[in-house]
Amino acid sequence: MKKLMSIILAALLVFSLGTAAFAAGGSIALGEAKSITLQRDETAAFKFTAEESALYVAEISSDMGFAMVSVTDEAEDIIDSAWVISFGEKDETDSSFISDEAKIYFCADKGKTFNLEFKENSQFFIEVLEKFDGLAESIVPAKINVTVKKADVRELKLGETYSASEYREYFLFAPEEDGFYNFRSNSSGNSDPRISITGSDGSYFANDNNGYLADYDFDLTAYFEKGKVYGVEVINTSIEYEKDAEPFTFTVSRGEDIKADYLDIDSRVVFVAVNDTASNFVSCVPSGALEGEYEVTCADETKANAYYDESGSICIEGLSVGKTTVTVTETNSGVSTEFTVIVIPAVVHSIFSVVQNIFWTVVRVISNIIDFITSRIF
């Protein structure tokens, strides 16, 4: 069975579910348990309307079969989705991706309606399943159970510190006033925590690393509104995969006064051709610092022009052959950084690009040869 599940996992990783037309399935109330039976490729949907502004969870299980379950909003945008797969026996695999049970968390304002959409999907795996005698037919129809509940999670409060010891944990955040709030973790050992926040208004924020070298903590500052509810997901992965991740803590604080310690720049030297453009990404460290404006100056404006664009990059335009220095200053903290711009003739840039492409092609060929030899030896 584990061999089969491994094959199916590989297939799932390359599978992309398209939008399907769903048959009407009625509505589902808070706390109500529903069971549905789906024949091959059949679809169904239930409507859920939030009784209050809160974080909700759809708890799904499969007694038999393959199904994709999605929660979509009124605009039919997918909030989240999950597979449930069962062969009629309790799943004992270690995979967090394949399971006969799943939970989908979503935030909702009072009166907002969501769809819980179900699609039987064994047909996608039919070639795999037919290798196992009788299995392809025995898992149809799919038998799926679903209940929508108000999520039983901890609510985050300003100024408080919280611990997280599981791989994935959920929290509720309902700010008492509008403003910038900061979520910053404090981990040690083998932990690499990350955070994502989804609001009832459809907003989404996420952060993995705070920007400091050799520091894996998240540090997120964003603007939150009073009266809205936000679902906070924290995930704790291990730096060394053969070791378990250690518990970590995180704190919620106001974000207005957090300023950058320094600016991180992708490259200290940027080459650009005459009449061409290049870019150099810049960011505040820590990542939770509240950014102001970025002021960009070029020491020799006859050589190059430089400016900040909203994608987070410094754009450089080559004007004439030579060298100059670009200075970037973040106005909220006053910290700055510099990098060198070397403007080269267009023909030199073309030759350089060709040589660079040849180099990386050779590297890929050598890597493929090594992989081939290694696979034959081991």
pLDDT given at position 5: 46
User: How far is it, in rounded angstroms, from Cα 217 to Cα 208?
Assistant: 7
| 288, pLDDT greater than 90 | yes
pLDDT given at position 15: 44
User: How far is it, in rounded angstroms, from Cα 233 to Cα 250?
Assistant: 12
User: How far is it, in rounded angstroms, from Cα 188 to Cα 186?
Assistant: 7
The two tokens of residue 68 are 């994709």
- Least confident span in 39-53, 210-224, 261-275, 344-358: 344-358
Give tens-digit pLDDT for 170-189. 999 999 999 999 999 999 87
| 212, pLDDT greater than 70 | yes
Confidence of residue 9 (pLDDT cuts 50, 70, 90): very low
The whole-model pTM stands at 0.76
- Least confident span in 60-69, 154-163, 190-199: 60-69
| 318, pLDDT greater than 60 | yes
CATH number for the region 154-254 comes to: 2.60.120.380
- Ordered DSSP codes for 218-239: -EEEEEE-TT--EEEEEEEEES
CATH number for the region 262-344 comes to: 2.60.40.1080
DSSP 3-state of 54: strand
Sign of the torsion formed by the C-alpha atoms of 231, 56, 16 and 234: positive
- Least confident span in 64-68, 141-145, 166-170: 64-68
CA-to-CA separations, 8 to 1, 37, 122, 142, 143, in angstroms, rounded: 11, 22, 10, 16, 19
Which residues have CB under 8 Å from 348's CB, separation 6+?
273
Q: Once rounded to an integer, what is the mean pLDDT over residues 294-307?
A: 96
pLDDT given at position 17: 42
CATH number for the region 2-150 comes to: 2.60.120.380
Task: Phi first, then psi: give them for residue 125, nearest 5 degrees.
Answer: -105, 15
Confidence of residue 38 (pLDDT cuts 50, 70, 90): confident
